[in-house]
Amino acid sequence: MAKYEIIGGTPLSGEVVISGAKNAVVAILPATLLVPGKCRIENVPDISDVRILLDIMRSMGASVEWAEPGVVEIDCTDVPYGEPNPELVRKMRASYYLLGAQLGRYGRSHVALPGGCAFAARPIDQHIKGFGLLGADVEETEEYVAMEPGPDGLHGQRISLDVVSVGATANIMLAACLIEGQTIIENAAKEPHIVDLANFLNTMGARISGAGTDTIKIRGVKQLHGGTYAAIPDQIEAGTYMAAAVATGGNVLVQNVIPKHMECITTRLREMGAKITEFDDAIRVQATRPLRRITVKTMPYPGFPTDMQAQICVCMVLATGTSRLTESVYETRFFGYCSELENMGAKIKVEGKTASVVGIGDRKLRGTTVHAKDLRAGAALIIAGLAAEGTTYVKNIHYVERGYERIIEKLTKLGAQIKRIEE
Ligand code: EPU
């Protein structure tokens, strides 16, 4: 098991280049199953979630190659129907996209239930509801989901989601691309990675409109075709470096971002007192403490992302006064990191969906050993370690390595004292 050793106290300074968006790429790669022909995907982050997914696709019979750093060429033309390796599927969350992709390609599917960060109950009832409305007979057990065409066959349908779900929206899009007729998803998720998946599929010949609004229309086509597509930059990775810059009182140019995607985060960091300058594809973040207290409520896009909850919480810990942080997507997410931050000197009181974060003002957090319990919690503990005095050891870093490409290298370039140590 490896851990990170962080000697805190250095303000981050310099430039960091953001990688391709994890949550876009983990949907785009399964989507290539729908394509007879070669897909060249650019801006692919080399992170463990992507590597697992590529292993799954290889084991299904896809030809997969890293053509160059950040570029994957994948050809699923000859992939026969079959259950993807359940052991690999259980290692990550986004393997659930194989359900929609298999249903779209073969008219049936059999995939083990996914794993991934277990910071909350993460039901997939809306995915199942969508597949059922598209005409599939769905069998769901504690181990797997299996689907066959129902008595009327598969057909386009109007599907109104009961909750705004990224996964269900993407999965229904995947299934519907090649199904005859028009599918309309109402109450759809609007996240940038939903738009990116739709753009990828349209580049390969799909007819999807409305992605980025709450109503997405998919007109089924007979066949897709190969092509080249570059994934968007990762909104959450960018937000994490922005929060790290603010927490350490640094001055960082965050490059390869889409500033529009960052607005929900930029606004909050400005409220805390950070100076943020937007360029075409970069954002400069400058901050000095004391930071001001703020109120944040996580919401689906364009709201403040739940995947930035833990990182902004660290900034709140370092502010003056009591901030309020309300989680409206995954209520139990606080439990992944608040007690660890408290071990470093933070004072956080969680009551139901809201945390009251008592800022430490001019004082410092103190380094100690902390345990990451999920990906974003791990990122937050790294930020806390960078801002703390003394040495912080972050354990369970396999969570962090799921989603942050070359994090040690990027932080070191910004002047951080951070090392990966094998135990
Ligand atoms: N929900 C249901 N039923 C469903 C699906 C979702 O009740 O069938 C609920 C969830 O319990 C949650 C809400 O709807 O309360 C939103 O869940 P969503 O389906 O949007 O989440 P997800 O697709 O499983 C993706 C990201 C997560 C991110 C969430 C919210 C991927 C692979 N994962 O998960 O990313 O937190 O959307 O934005 O895209 C991360 O990157 O660290 C991460 C956890």
Q: Count the Cβ atoms, other than its own, within 10 Å of residue 77.
A: 12
314 and 351 belong to one structural domain: yes
Reply yes or no on whether the pLDDT at 116 is more than 90: no
From the list 47, 107, 112, the residue with the least C-alpha distance to 85 is 112
What tens digit of pLDDT does each residue of 38-49 get?
A: 999 999 999 999
Say which residues have a Cβ less than 8 Å from residue 355's Cβ, sequence separation at least 6.
Answer: 313, 324, 325, 326, 327, 334, 338, 348, 349
201 and 129 belong to one structural domain: yes
379 and 242 belong to one structural domain: yes
226 and 237 belong to one structural domain: no
Say which residues have a Cβ less than 8 Å from residue 145's Cβ, sequence separation at least 6.
Answer: 99, 109, 110, 111, 113, 124, 128, 138, 139
Q: What would the mean pLDDT of 207-222 be, rounded to a whole number?
A: 98
Query: Which atom of ligand 1 is found nearest the CA of 119?
Result: 44
* Last residue within a domain, chosen from 230, 262, 279: 230
70 and 195 belong to one structural domain: yes
Task: Output phi, psi for 193, to 5 deg.
Answer: -75, -20
226 and 240 belong to one structural domain: no
From the list 65, 39, 69, the residue with the least C-alpha distance to 54 is 65
277 and 226 belong to one structural domain: no
- CA-nearest residue for atom 6, ligand 1, is 165
Confidence tier at 117 by pLDDT (50, 70, 90): low
**Domain limits for position 402:** 2-19+233-422
Compute the distance from residue 195 Cα to the ligand 1 centre, in Å.
16
The percent of residues above 70 in pLDDT, for the chain, comes to: 99
Mean pLDDT for the chain overall: 97
Confidence tier at 332 by pLDDT (50, 70, 90): confident
250 and 381 belong to one structural domain: yes
The pTM of the full predicted model, rounded to 2 decimals, is 0.97
Residue 48 is which amino acid?
A: S
Q: Does the CB atom of residue 94 touch ligand 1 within 6 A?
A: yes
Say which residues have a Cβ less than 8 Å from residue 266's Cβ, sequence separation at least 6.
Answer: 242, 259, 276, 278, 283
Give the H or E element holding residue 282.
Answer: strand 282-286
* Last residue within a domain, chosen from 208, 230, 252: 230
128 and 206 belong to one structural domain: yes
Q: Does the CB atom of residue 99 touch ligand 1 within 6 A?
A: no
Compute the distance from residue 56 Cα to the ligand 1 centre, in Å.
21
CATH number at residue 339: 3.65.10.10
Query: Which atom of ligand 1 is found nearest the CA of 128?
Result: 8
219 and 248 belong to one structural domain: no
Count how many domains the chain has. 2
* Last residue within a domain, chosen from 230, 250, 265: 230
Task: Tell how many helices (H) and how many strands (E) occur in the chain.
Answer: 14, 25
Q: Does the CB atom of residue 123 touch ligand 1 within 6 A?
A: yes
Calculate helix-pair angle for 48-60, 22-31, nearest 10 degrees.
0
Calculate helix-pair angle for 166-176, 97-106, nearest 10 degrees.
10
Query: Which atom of ligand 1 is found nearest the CA of 305?
Result: 38
Q: What would the mean pLDDT of 211-222 be, rounded to a whole number?
A: 98
50 and 88 belong to one structural domain: yes
34 and 156 belong to one structural domain: yes
Question: 């994948």: which residue's tokens?
Answer: 74
Q: Is 121 exposed, middle or buried (0-12, 13-18, 19+ CB in 10 A)?
A: exposed
Q: Does the CB atom of residue 95 touch ligand 1 within 6 A?
A: no
